[in-house]
């Protein structure tokens, strides 16, 4: 689809020159010659970029005035996603700075080379695309977490989200690793929702749940009579995901001989249904996931090495919840809002004792276990707050716990911060105290009081 450019300039020669040049470079160009002409277009479809002359007449044929910048707030209000490039033959530093302050992408002084204009225009379009992707990311995260309470607060998950943001618009194959319940399906959905394929479907399949004798038919399709019970032609998942995304969860549980056929499909971009004699082209993005360590899976013969290198162009590892405790409370609050609304209950939060219980537990089932725990508490608690007695989990007892100590909310948060800082510094107490902004002796006293084993 051609990018739409609106050129606002009172010089007819300039409109003719720039309009013809941009049209020859495969842009759709619309022109107008005055402020009034611009305003008459504001209810129409938004352009991608507005080339706006600094000096414009209010009406066509009138005297030019310094009103280009005064039009920018109106343009930004009506077309918030359009980029604006200011053109001026009377450019000064003050004008350029003011244009930037008002949100112009750049400022070009007349006369200019058409090549320079084309380069700036392409950069503006790239910036527009990046802003759209960032906006889509915020919207997608809000869908998972609520607009004012991001689920992912830990540094580890913020790094994951930055990676997702970079690679989502591409068609690169992605391998997501992590323990069961860490949220691999959520990341796959996020990759799809931020991709250019999001108007089409994402097909999700658990390879471990498919019967060995039917997995190839499920993936590639089959023709009538290909095997016992094949009474009709069967459309495979690759065909169902055409133009969209195919998410193959637990890829290491797929039979090795099927992995060989999958590798051929990925290399040739062609699928042959089971029992068929012809192939058809396939066009879907592949995302895979496994809860196994890929290196161990290859050593054990569970995962073909050549397939691993084909599906792991980019690898994303999701750490277990016990290694990102900063995410526990935001996740719990998001689940509480969701399940409260579903049950038509009015829960306002967690008591300090419940918070301490939640953040001290190791969550062997990760985010999935936390979700189930909060759902259970919502259904069984009298409310309006979830208390520790409403939770079925018990406080994790490990080397860093004291035997029968109950911490206040503030103490629990402080203790958790100290543990994370000690982990970050490799147990270096001096460096941990410096980063925490407290004295060494204060840190030693708190380590002892909280029963933290370094």
The residue from 265, 292, 319 where one domain ends is: 319
The answer to whether residue 414 is domain-embedded is: yes
Same domain assignment for residues 330 and 190: no
Same domain assignment for residues 190 and 114: no
Same domain assignment for residues 47 and 174: no
The answer to whether residue 12 is domain-embedded is: yes
Same domain assignment for residues 121 and 213: no
Same domain assignment for residues 225 and 351: no
Query: What residue numbers bound the domain in which 17 lies?
Result: 4-131
pLDDT of 405 reads 44
Instruction: Supply the CATH number for residue 175's domain.
Output: 3.40.50.300
The answer to whether residue 298 is domain-embedded is: yes
Same domain assignment for residues 252 and 275: yes
pLDDT of 49 reads 94
The answer to whether residue 341 is domain-embedded is: yes
pLDDT of 68 reads 82
Same domain assignment for residues 159 and 212: yes
> Cα dihedral sign for 69, 74, 75, 76?
positive
Instruction: Supply the CATH number for residue 403's domain.
Output: 1.10.8.60
- pTM for this structure? 0.57
The answer to whether residue 454 is domain-embedded is: no
The answer to whether residue 365 is domain-embedded is: yes
Same domain assignment for residues 123 and 177: no
Same domain assignment for residues 310 and 331: no
How many separate domains does the chain show? 3
pLDDT of 403 reads 38
The residue from 97, 131, 165 where one domain ends is: 131
pLDDT of 402 reads 41
Same domain assignment for residues 235 and 378: no
The residue from 131, 157, 183 where one domain ends is: 131
Same domain assignment for residues 51 and 66: yes
Same domain assignment for residues 372 and 252: no
The answer to whether residue 137 is domain-embedded is: no
pLDDT of 430 reads 82
Per residue of the chain (454 residues), what is the pLDDT tens digit?
A: 789 999 999 899 999 999 999 999 999 999 999 999 999 999 888 999 999 998 888 888 778 788 888 899 899 888 988 999 998 876 667 777 777 778 888 888 888 888 889 988 988 888 787 666 555 555 555 544 443 334 677 888 888 888 988 899 899 999 999 998 888 988 998 899 888 898 898 998 888 887 777 788 888 888 776 666 666 777 788 888 999 999 999 999 999 999 999 999 998 888 888 877 788 888 999 999 999 999 999 999 999 999 999 999 999 999 999 998 888 988 898 889 888 888 888 888 899 889 989 998 988 888 888 988 999 999 888 878 899 889 988 755 443 444 334 455 556 667 777 887 887 787 888 888 777 767 777 787 788 777 787 6
The answer to whether residue 256 is domain-embedded is: yes
């Amino acid at each position: 689809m051609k990018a739409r450019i609106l050129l606002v300039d009172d010089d007819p020669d300039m409109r003719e020159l720039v309009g013809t040049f941009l049209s020859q470079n495969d842009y759709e160009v619309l022109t107008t010659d005055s402020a009034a002409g611009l305003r008459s277009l504001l209810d129409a479809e938004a352009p991608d970029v507005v080339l706006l002359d600094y000096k414009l007449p209010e009406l066509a044929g009138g005297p030019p005035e310094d009103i280009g910048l005064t039009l920018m707030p109106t343009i930004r209000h009506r077309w918030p996603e359009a980029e604006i490039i200011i053109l001026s033959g009377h450019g000064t530093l003050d004008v350029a700075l003011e244009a930037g302050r008002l949100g112009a992408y750049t400022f070009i002084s007349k006369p200019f080379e058409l090549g320079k204009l084309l380069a700036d225009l392409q950069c503006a379009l790239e910036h527009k695309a990046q802003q759209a992707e960032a906006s889509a990311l915020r919207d997608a995260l809000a869908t998972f977490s609520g607009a004012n309470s991001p689920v992912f607060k830990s540094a580890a998950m913020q790094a994951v989200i930055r990676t997702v943001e970079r690679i989502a618009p591409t068609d690169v194959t992605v391998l997501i690793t992590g323990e069961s319940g860490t949220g691999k399906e959520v990341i796959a959905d996020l990759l799809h929702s931020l991709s250019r394929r999001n108007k089409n479907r994402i097909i999700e399949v658990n390879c471990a749940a498919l019967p060995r004798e039917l997995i190839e038919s499920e993936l590639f399709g089959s023709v009538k009579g290909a095997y016992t019970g094949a009474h009709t032609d069967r459309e495979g998942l690759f065909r169902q995901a055409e133009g969209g995304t195919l998410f193959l969860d637990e890829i290491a549980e797929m039979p090795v001989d099927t992995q060989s056929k999958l590798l051929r499909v990925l290399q040739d971009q062609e699928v042959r249904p089971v029992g068929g004699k012809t192939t058809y082209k396939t066009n879907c993005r592949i995302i895979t996931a496994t809860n196994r360590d890929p290196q161990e899976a290859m050593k054990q013969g569970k995962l073909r090495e050549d397939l691993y290198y084909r599906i792991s162009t980019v690898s994303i590892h999701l750490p277990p919840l016990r290694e990102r405790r900063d995410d526990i409370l935001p996740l719990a609050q998001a689940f509480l809002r969701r399940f409260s609304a579903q049950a038509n209950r009015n829960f306002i939060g967690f008591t300090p004792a419940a918070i301490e219980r939640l953040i001290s537990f190791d969550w062997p089932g990760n985010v999935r276990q936390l979700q189930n725990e909060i759902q259970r508490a919502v259904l069984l608690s009298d409310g309006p707050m979830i208390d520790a007695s409403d939770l079925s989990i018990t406080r994790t007892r490990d080397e860093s716990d004291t035997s029968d100590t109950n911490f206040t909310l503030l103490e629990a948060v402080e203790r958790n911060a100290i543990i994370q800082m000690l982990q970050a510094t490799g147990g270096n107490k001096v460096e941990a105290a410096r980063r925490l902004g407290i004295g060494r002796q204060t840190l030693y006293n708190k380590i002892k009081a909280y029963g933290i084993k370094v």
